[in-house]
Copies of this chain bind each other. A is one copy, B any other.
Amino acid sequence: MTTVAAVDVGGTAIKYGLLRGDVLEPEPEIPTPLRGPDTAEEVVDVVAQALADLRRRSDFEAVGLVVPGYVDAERGVAIRSENLGWRDVPFRDQLAERVGLPVAFGHDVRAGALAEARLGAARGLRDVLVVPIGTGIAAGLVIDGRLHERPGPFGEIGHLDAGHERRCVCGRTGCLEAIASAAAISRAYVEQTGHPATAAEVAARVGEGDPAASLIWQEAVEALAATLAPCITLLAPGAVVIGGGLARAGDLLLRPLRRALERHTPVEVELRPAALGTHAGCTGAGLLALDLLRAAEPA
């Protein structure tokens, strides 16, 4: 069985571990170096060190590394991350030089989508759209079993115009994630009622008939359906997998979203909650490393 190392660099923590066959063995998380002029260099240092320690305990043949922001997976370069403050960092080659192994490089959300399609909620389906909804909203697409991977800023469906007046963290007004992310739902609830509540708590209050919670939830669901409907109609994926914090609301989210989608598009689609949780990105990083090894094998 092929074993690879997998690394998922997040805004606050670096997740890593070994992927043996289909199973991720996660190591304790490492805090992501604070944002500064040398963040990217420090990330490479910390990751190289962790992998060297790991290698003393267990052998592996390749490394998969995924990061947030805009990435050019083909060239192995992180083009930009607003959260981590880096630009044009050739992570793949830098890490490969440090660990002396082949390194596959990719995008955290898209790697997570690949993992859900191959090993998680959409295992065995040909085409899958994966939509993590947490602080932000993004999307990853697997078509014909292959990850749709292009250079530059794409998949960022959270910044599509959803036709409302609320301000987004990106500085624009009307973005989908300013009305439908877990963060936006929580913020709207405290603004309208004076009572702080997480998105999960707002979801629970919808079930209890809380009118403010219901309106906020309905607006979020409607905005999500309007954004997903064109993609579903164009692609007819086997399933849409909803992940991130908001997916924990389960049927409180999926049931109204299903109904809204029926109104929005003539194409039927199955909605499923994500199965791999916060390890999806790291598992996907491992899958990218496995794919890299397979592509290098003689045919």
Contacts and interface: CB of A to CB of B under 8 A. Distances in A.
B226 A141 contact: no
B234 A153 contact: no
A231 interface: yes
A229 interface: yes
Contact of A230 (B148, B152, B230): B230
B156 A233 contact: yes
Interface string A115-134: 00000000000010100000
A150 B236 contact: yes
Given A127-B150, A150-B127, A161 B234 contact: no
A143 interface: yes
A246 B117 CA distance: 39
A207 to B, nearest CB: 26
How many chain copies?
A: 2
Contact of A139 (B127, B139, B234): B234
A236 B230 CA distance: 14
Contacts of A190: none
A272 interface: no
Contacts of A107: none
Contacts of A231: 230-231, 234
Nearest to A236: B154
Contact of A228 (B139, B230, B263, B267): B230
A260 to B, nearest CB: 9
A264 B175 CA distance: 9
A34 interface: no
Contact of A233 (B160, B266, B267): B160
A235 interface: yes
Given A139-B234, A154-B233, 8 more contacts: A127-B150, A157-B233, A159-B233, A159-B265, A159-B266, A160-B264, A163-B226, A231-B231
